[in-house]
């Protein structure tokens, strides 16, 4: 559910991350996958309905509103529907189950060097992680490498998209195609794009590289917005309406509609509170058995939308089931989470590594068959440990980093405090004795 801190508030294991609860490794991975859905860079609502990422993250269930703008991801089926009261209104919430779920622990016999992985397009990285464990090769020199296969096709490139934009905007003056991108001179503009042919069993991704939103005050476009026939009254109304416009935190929203599926991506304006500079984003427009004829892109703020490249990619799901079967074949059984400990049992026929779909953090330690092993970062944000041929009992334990030393320092501070308090009591006792002696002498 797209609710801030939902996992923390409900005590469930979810992909919701917010504020200081989000580790740096998660932020780095999300940026590599070019997911941009949250209100701010540190607010991660979900994985943009990308079934592959859900699969690799051990996500079995998701929940959504029945009448929500986003349709269910590929491979998910509705298993329950319930009416809830929210904000005084009745809403239907659906529970969906992933037909291709993996447990929190699964194994790989081959790896993909991290250096090769970083050169891939964001949508290729998803497929790569299904075929091999992405890891620093120096930390797993024993395993063979694999060259991943990709089922992705660029169906609309930057040149074609710009051609279609130019064809629609013409000489209206409200939208202008520039060398840096698109300049939108009205509050909302919707552009329509034709998809050249039918693509089966595919997701469609809108990929924008180097996007940067430069907000503009409507006053800059006053002549264009009012037109030649405006009166002085129109001008006064315009000035009054936009007098305080520049005081707000400027943001833009990219709204993509593909079939019945609607996706939104927020872009913070240049020099605003959460501006991170030019960045790459990828919007999963949704899955269909047969691709739709068109999609619509709405720019929901006036100003400049700068970008270096923009393209639409079709992401075939034909081989996903095959790769899933490979991961599922040597996945862990009896996976349990109890307090700060995660356990699982796994059998492998070759030398392998287990990926644990829990964000990498230095507070974790692990044993395999009772022997302590090193944990390494893998698949962008997760953990991995080496496995022995045959049976493996994996035990992961979490301790807050620095807790041991913190307790020692706190204990030492307590001893010092007690000792100091005893000294103070002793000094006060001596002072009282001295004063009593003085009083006796005066009386005599």
The angle subtended at Cα 85 by Cα 84 and Cα 91, nearest 5°, is 60
E strand or H helix that includes residue 434: helix 403-443
Query: Which range, of 89-93, 196-200, 294-298, averages the lowest pLDDT?
Result: 196-200
Query: Which range, of 231-240, 299-308, 432-441, averages the lowest pLDDT?
Result: 432-441
- Whether the pLDDT of residue 4 is over 80: the answer is no
pLDDT tens sequence across 73-89: 999 999 999 998 877 88
Q: How many CB atoms lie within 10 A of CB 408?
A: 10
pLDDT of amino acid 272:
85
pLDDT confidence bin for 26, thresholds 50/70/90: confident
E strand or H helix that includes residue 236: helix 232-241
244: which 2 tokens?
């305080």
User: Which strands form 105-108's sheet, in the order they lie side by side?
Assistant: 105-108, 352-356, 382-387, 376-378
pLDDT tens sequence across 176-196: 899 999 999 888 999 999 998
Using the CB atoms, write b or e for 351-385: b if 16+ within 10 Å: ebbbbbbbbbbeebebebeeeebebbbbbbbbbbb
pLDDT confidence bin for 372, thresholds 50/70/90: very high
pLDDT of amino acid 16:
56
pLDDT confidence bin for 199, thresholds 50/70/90: confident
Helices then strands, counting H and E runs in the chain, come out as 10, 26
- The length of the chain, given as a count of residues: 444
- Whether the pLDDT of residue 444 is over 80: the answer is no
**For the residues 155-174, what does the mean pLDDT come to?**
88
What is the C-alpha separation between 328 and 133, in angstroms, rounded?
A: 14
pLDDT of amino acid 98:
93
* Selected residue with higher pLDDT from 245 and 344: 344
For the entire predicted model, the pTM comes to 0.81
- Whether the pLDDT of residue 229 is over 90: the answer is no
182: which 2 tokens?
């698109």
């Amino acid at each position: 559910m797209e609710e801030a801190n939902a996992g923390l508030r409900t005590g469930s294991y979810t992909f919701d991350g917010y504020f200081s609860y989000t580790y740096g490794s998660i932020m780095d991975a999300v940026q590599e996958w070019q997911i941009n859905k949250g209100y701010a860079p540190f607010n991660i609502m979900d994985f943009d309905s990308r079934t592959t990422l859900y699969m690799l993250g051990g996500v079995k269930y998701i929940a959504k509103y029945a009448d929500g703008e986003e349709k269910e991801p590929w491979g998910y089926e509705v298993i329950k529907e319930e009416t809830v009261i929210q904000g005084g209104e009745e809403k239907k919430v659906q529970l969906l189950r992933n037909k291709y779920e993996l447990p929190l622990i699964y194994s790989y016999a081959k790896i993909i060097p991290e250096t090769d992985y970083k050169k891939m397009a964001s949508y290729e990285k998803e497929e790569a992680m299904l075929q091999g464990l992405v890891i620093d090769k120096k930390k797993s020199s024993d395993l063979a490498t694999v060259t991943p296969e990709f089922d992705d096709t660029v169906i609309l490139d930057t040149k074609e998209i710009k051609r279609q934009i130019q064809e629609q905007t013409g000489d209206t003056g409200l939208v202008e195609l520039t060398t840096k991108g698109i300049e939108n001179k009205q509050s909302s503009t919707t552009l329509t794009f034709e998809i050249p042919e039918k693509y089966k069993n595919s997701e469609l991704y809108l990929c924008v590289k180097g996007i940067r939103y430069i907000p503009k005050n409507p006053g800059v476009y006053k002549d264009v917005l009012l037109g030649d026939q405006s009166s002085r009254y129109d001008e006064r109304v315009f000035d009054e309406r936009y007098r305080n416009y520049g005081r707000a935190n400027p943001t833009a929203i990219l709204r993509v509609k593909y079939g019945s599926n609607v996706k939104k991506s927020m872009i913070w304006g240049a020099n605003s509170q959460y501006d991170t500079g030019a960045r790459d984003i990828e919007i999963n427009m949704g899955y269909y058995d047969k691709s739709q004829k068109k999609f619509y892109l709405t720019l929901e703020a006036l100003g400049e939308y700068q970008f270096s490249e923009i393209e639409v990619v079709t992401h075939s799901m034909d081989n996903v089931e095959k790769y899933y079967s490979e991961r599922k074949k040597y996945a862990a059984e009896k996976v349990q989470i109890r307090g700060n400990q995660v356990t699982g049992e796994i059998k492998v026929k070759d030398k392998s590594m287990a990926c644990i779909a829990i964000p990498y953090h230095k507070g974790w330690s692990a044993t395999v068959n009772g022997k302590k092993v090193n944990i390494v970062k893998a698949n962008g944000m997760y953990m991995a440990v080496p496995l022995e041929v045959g049976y493996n009992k994996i035990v992961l334990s979490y301790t807050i980093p620095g807790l041991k030393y913190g307790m020692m320092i706190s204990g030492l501070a307590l001893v010092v405090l007690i000792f100091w308090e005893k000294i103070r009591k002793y000094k006060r006792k001596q002072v009282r004795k001295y004063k009593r002696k003085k009083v006796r002498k005066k009386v005599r």
